[in-house]
Amino acid sequence: MRRCYPYLLIAPALGLISMVSLYPTLYSLYLSLHRIRRGTMEWVGLQNFRTILTSASFWQSLQHTLVFGVCFVSITLICAYALALMFNRKLALNGLYMTIIFVPWMLSDIVSGVMFRWLFLPHTGFGHQVLEALLGTSNLPGTPAGAMGIVIGATVWQATAFAMLLLLAGLQTVPREIYEAALIDGATRWQSFWYITWAFVRPTTMITTLFLTIQAINTTGMFLAITEGGPGRATEVLSLYMYREVITFFNFGSAAALSVIMFVLNAALATIYIRTLRAETV
């Protein structure tokens, strides 16, 4: 009995986690092997996966996800790094700046997305008018690159604060004495950054990159609010493709298969990052 006691104590928590996390995951897997039509479930084996993997839309969406992911993660990291380095210097009015930077992070995807959509509305959007005055371009959301650029910009704008917070926490773990010792030894600014700052912050950067990458793969709200996947399919990423499959087309099985593929993608990326992190810290 004594041996079972700890398990019994954690049983409610485990039960709850299973209910809200494990069960939906397993049910998705189960759904992905079925087709639901006319209210009945039909076993189709791997047919849904075959349909998805042979569809041009899937590969297009994957490509868009990759483009979005690479741009979003790298730009967010650069912006977050710059801001974290700035705040690490303990400037005057740090709190005020920090609050301002955190406002976008507190907004929902849809609210931020709608704001950006309106900002670039042809003829009436302020952003559109500014761009037209500066570059002479028009209808930015009407071009594939422009539409993707707007979504990337909006997502970077929203996610930078959180990434900066993580990186700032990492920066604040670097002891001042090491910088002083390096200065005495004649280290340049770049050498101080590369051999001290970067060496300390690298694990945090990896974690931040992992979070941002997972966010990039799963982002739906921004795309839905700004472009709905258009023009054409230029901004239809995997998550939006899945959303359309289930919400617009009622293809539960295909959408579940897609969710399994995305889960595998996320898990693979997380494994790679964690392994790299472990290898570096050992």
Residues in the site for other proteins, rule: CB under 8 A? 1, 5, 8, 11-12, 36-40, 51, 54-57, 121-124, 138-139, 141-143, 147, 228-233, 244, 246-252
- Residue 133's Cβ-side half-sphere holds a number of Cα atoms within 13 Å equal to 6
Comparison of 143 and 276: residue with beta carbon closer to other proteins: 143
Contact in structure between 65 and 57 (CB atoms under 8 Å): no
The two three-digit tokens of residue 119, written as one number? 């900002």
Comparison of 121 and 178: residue with beta carbon closer to other proteins: 121
Comparison of 248 and 281: residue with beta carbon closer to other proteins: 248
Is 42 in a helix, a strand, or coil? strand
Contact in structure between 235 and 223 (CB atoms under 8 Å): yes
Query: What are the counts of helices (DSSP H) followed by strands (DSSP E) for the chain?
Result: 14, 2
Comparison of 57 and 74: residue with beta carbon closer to other proteins: 57
Which stretches does DSSP call E strand in the chain?
A: 34-37, 40-43
CA distances from 112 to 19, 157, 253, 262 (A): 32, 9, 31, 24
Comparison of 198 and 250: residue with beta carbon closer to other proteins: 250
Specify which residues 37 forms β-bridges with. 40
Shortest spacing between CB 189 and other proteins, in angstroms: 47
Comparison of 157 and 252: residue with beta carbon closer to other proteins: 252
Shortest spacing between CB 218 and other proteins, in angstroms: 21
Helix boundaries (H) for 172-251:
176-184, 189-192, 198-218, 221-226, 238-243
Shortest spacing between CB 106 and other proteins, in angstroms: 27
Q: What are phi and psi of 37, to 5 degrees?
A: -140, 140
Give the DSSP letter of residue 174.
S
Q: What are phi and psi of 43, to 5 degrees?
A: -70, 125
Shortest spacing between CB 63 and other proteins, in angstroms: 15
Comparison of 80 and 147: residue with beta carbon closer to other proteins: 147
Comparison of 56 and 92: residue with beta carbon closer to other proteins: 56
Is 123 in a helix, a strand, or coil? coil
Shortest spacing between CB 148 and other proteins, in angstroms: 13
Shortest spacing between CB 31 and other proteins, in angstroms: 10
Burial class (CB in 10 A: 0-12, 13-18, 19+), 119: buried
Shortest spacing between CB 281 and other proteins, in angstroms: 40
Shortest spacing between CB 203 and other proteins, in angstroms: 40
Q: How far apart are CA 177 and CA 119, in angstroms?
A: 47
